[in-house]
Amino acid sequence: MNDELQKTILTRLRRAEGQVRGVQSMIEDGRDCAEVVAQFSAAIRAVEQAAYKYFAATVQECAVHPDEAAASGYTTDRLEKLFMQLA
């Protein structure tokens, strides 16, 4: 994974981390359900986006270096199972 992509993924994860902390504070403060749910939704989307970007980078690496991928155990079947875990 190149440095720029790694930075992008880590930025998304940090954003999600902040959003989860925000949810915790909102619950502690007794904020309205609709506001809390909106913050939950934003955190979930941030984590999902990071996961999909990470997985896409893995698939791309496997496509570019299929022999290395196979040697590491990243077969088409395993990649499909990993994708289904995210979906």
The Cα angle at residue 15 between residues 30 and 59, in degrees rounded to 5: 135
In the chain, beta strands by DSSP E: none
Q: Are 81 and 47 in contact (CB under 8 A)?
A: no
Q: What pLDDT, on a 0 to 100 scale, did the predictor assign at position 25? A: 97
pTM of the model: 0.82
Per-residue confidence in pLDDT tens, the chain, 87 aa: 889 999 999 999 999 999 999 999 999 999 999 999 999 999 999 999 999 999 999 999 999 999 999 999 999 999 999 999 998
